[in-house]
Structure 1
Amino acid sequence: MSSSFAVLLGLLLASGASADPSEAGASLPGVRRIELAPDDASSTHEIAISAQLSTTFLFDSDLKRGEVELESRDRFSLVDAGQATLRLVPSARLTAGERLRLFVRFRDGAAPASASFLLRVHPATAEPLIEVYRGMRTIETYQQEIREVRAGLMRCQGEVVRLAAEQNAPGGLAGLVFSGALDEHGVTGRLVTEAVARAAGNALKATSVKSYRSATGVAVEINLTVMAGAPPWVAKGATLRGKTGAELKVLRLWQQRPIPTGEFGLVVVEADASTAAQGAFSLKLWEEDGPRTITLDNVMFP
């Protein structure tokens, strides 16, 4: 076990040195519902997409499948237009931060006769399901949305309670005990630098990778080096995705300092492991203002 990291984790639990949890979190959950008014043809709705992640549109009206207009269509791995569905899987050729136009027309000619969307390429997360309504929504869809909103509010309330408790928590090992992260088994650590697979095209070099497990969570400690000639790098968000596609809830993304050109810096990603975090995970980090990302596959926890 790394005692220095245990102290660091305790300090993190008691400090505000982490990124905004909404930015550190994983993919965008749930179903997004868009209602089109009769005069809504000129409006554009922004949708988050990401390379190799599926985004599916469900329409309540049939499409003119041959008239789906998608900017840079050749850079998508899959564009599957059904009778009233459209599934998109972007390829890795798309760059984070890009915005692409999507335009669809409906078969029945009723107003609005078309709909326009702006697809924003995110480094790691995508909106998986979009329901688009032109007519009146059923009461069941509103009831489902209310249930989802209530569940989201409960999660937010739990997060507020957790953050408030952390503000009053002591530092160091006492903080770990106070938070319940430390039990009789302590914090176990593992050097995984050699086992981790680095994706081609990583913007930074991972010189050292360590993984940790406590009673309630897991963490990855990465030493990153910015290549010579590249601008400084600040981590904005992170995901930890298993081989089945399930993601761990990222609780905290902490960076020691902005990483200057040609130098290295420490980044720590902490995730909830109240459920089993077994097997290999893919860790993806993206920067605060720009398209540069780093992906580390085969990250294993003790």
Structure 2
Amino acid sequence: MPSSSTIVFLALVLASAGAFAQSESSASVPGARRIELTPEGTPFVAEIAVSAGLSTGLYFDSDLMRDGIELEGRERFTLVDVGQATLRLVPSSRVIPGEHFRLVVRFKDGAAPVSASFLLQVHPAKTVPVIEVYRGKRTLETYQQEIREVRAELERCRDESSRLVAEHEAPAGLAGLLSTGTLDKEGVVGRVVTQDILPSSGNALEAASVITYRAKRAVAVVVTLATKAGAQPWNLKGATLRGRSGAELQVLRVWQEPSSPLTQARSIVVEAEAPDDGVQGPYSLKLWEDGPRTITLGNVTFP
């Protein structure tokens, strides 16, 4: 039986669905994002994360005016493919994280709303690959689907909270790894993969060494970055580990070795959750700071 707080939360989700000119709800495809447009209310510009070299596809339930597409900085996109009711975008390597580009699409039938506006926000590594845009009224089925999605998200949050509590209450050191099930009798296996790494030509720093580790429930990558003399210090902000299919491992935590005046090399540790079906490589590791510089290392494999 759901708790009273859960019921109140679900009620608020449903009550707020019609409060905006554009609202977001669950999509029909897992992992996709759904945006709904309604003719009432004040205009609302939806923000969409895009990233250099990664594809973002917008799928509409109405035909588009192909000559009515306005994209700010269009020359900085390697692909702008306008279909009958689709729009596919691929930013070029010239875009800079933190930049914004305004996108306006117009619909062919002239019904309200006649257009939709979006703000494309450049992210160092993440994008939304599939976005569904609907203009019609929401049906009972979409509300029921949203409730299912909210319940699934609540369950995921409960699992994550339980994991964090267990880690907090667990003892430190080896005893903690054993008590949380991260480590089993097989221990931790390591592999030096420095020679196998394929660095991107646009990397801000050089990876002096790369070592990967695998335990029962987690994997980790330790990268030693060499900073050139006179270069600005590198402060890690985030990381992704993306497989060949585009699926990402869930990054649990990142850590960077404190800077020292005695050395220009600093280690970075990226820990991710090991999937139940095993770690199928190779992966692409992308690191970014709170700024424009990024580091991409391809062909990352785990023991």
Same topology, TM > 0.5: yes
Shift of 1:74: 2.4
SS of equivalent residue, structure 1 residue 277? coil
Which amino acid in 1 is paired with 2:141?
Answer: E
Aligned length: 273
Shift of 1:260: 7.9
- Cα deviation 1:63-103 (Å, max 9, x = unaligned): 10111111222222221212222111222222111111111
Equivalence for 1:279: 281
When residues 198 and 166 of structure 1 are mapped into structure 2, their CA distance, relative to the original with a 3 A threshold, is same
When residues 176 and 208 of structure 1 are mapped into structure 2, their CA distance, relative to the original with a 3 A threshold, is same
Shift of 1:112: 2.0
- Cα deviation 1:189-216 (Å, max 9, x = unaligned): 1111111111111011111110001111
Equivalence for 2:63: 62
Equivalence for 1:87: 88
Equivalence for 1:189: 190
CA distance in 1: counterparts of 2:56 and 2:74, whole angstroms: 14
When residues 103 and 258 of structure 1 are mapped into structure 2, their CA distance, relative to the original with a 3 A threshold, is farther
CA distance in 1: counterparts of 2:201 and 2:260, whole angstroms: 21
Aligned pairs for 1:9-88 (under 5 A) are 30-38=31-39, 42-88=43-89
Shift of 1:117: 0.8
Structure 2: any 5+ residue segments left out of the alignment?
1-29
Shift of 1:60: 2.3
CA distance in 2: counterparts of 1:261 and 1:53, whole angstroms: 39
Shift of 1:161: 0.4
When residues 129 and 139 of structure 1 are mapped into structure 2, their CA distance, relative to the original with a 3 A threshold, is farther
CA distance in 2: counterparts of 1:258 and 1:85, whole angstroms: 48
Aligned pairs for 1:260-271 (under 5 A) are 263-271=264-272
CA distance in 2: counterparts of 1:46 and 1:170, whole angstroms: 42
Shift of 1:178: 1.1
Shift of 1:150: 1.9
Shift of 1:249: 1.3
TM-score, normalization by structure 1: 0.84
TM-score, normalization by structure 2: 0.84
Which amino acid in 2 is paired with 1:49?
Answer: V
Contact 1:62 1:108 in 2 (8 A): yes
When residues 230 and 297 of structure 1 are mapped into structure 2, their CA distance, relative to the original with a 3 A threshold, is same
Which amino acid in 2 is paired with 1:203?
Answer: A
CA distance in 1: counterparts of 2:127 and 2:41, whole angstroms: 24
CA distance in 2: counterparts of 1:260 and 1:47, whole angstroms: 40
Which amino acid in 2 is paired with 1:284?
Answer: K
CA distance in 2: counterparts of 1:301 and 1:143, whole angstroms: 41
Equivalence for 1:20: none
Aligned pairs for 1:121-200 (under 5 A) are 121-200=122-201
Shift of 1:160: 0.4
CA distance in 2: counterparts of 1:47 and 1:159, whole angstroms: 26
Which amino acid in 2 is paired with 1:107?
Answer: K
Which amino acid in 1 is paired with 2:278?
Answer: A
Equivalence for 1:250: 251
Shift of 1:282: 0.7
CA distance in 1: counterparts of 2:105 and 2:124, whole angstroms: 25
CA distance in 1: counterparts of 2:133 and 2:272, whole angstroms: 33
Contact 2:103 2:117 in 1 (8 A): yes
- Cα deviation 1:231-267 (Å, max 9, x = unaligned): 2221111111112222211111112225889822121
> In terms of mean alpha carbon deviation, does 33-42 or 60-69 score higher?
33-42
Contact 2:205 2:226 in 1 (8 A): yes
Contact 1:56 1:86 in 2 (8 A): yes
SS of equivalent residue, structure 2 residue 230? coil
SS of equivalent residue, structure 2 residue 150? helix
Identity %: 62
Contact 1:254 1:268 in 2 (8 A): yes
Shift of 1:39: 5.1
CA distance in 2: counterparts of 1:219 and 1:57, whole angstroms: 34
CA distance in 2: counterparts of 1:155 and 1:42, whole angstroms: 33
Which amino acid in 2 is paired with 1:285?
Answer: L
Contact 2:244 2:283 in 1 (8 A): yes
> In terms of mean alpha carbon deviation, does 160-169 or 134-143 score higher?
134-143
Contact 2:38 2:137 in 1 (8 A): no
Q: Which has the higher contact order (CA 8 A, sep 6+)?
A: 1
When residues 164 and 209 of structure 1 are mapped into structure 2, their CA distance, relative to the original with a 3 A threshold, is same
CA RMSD of aligned residues (A): 2.0
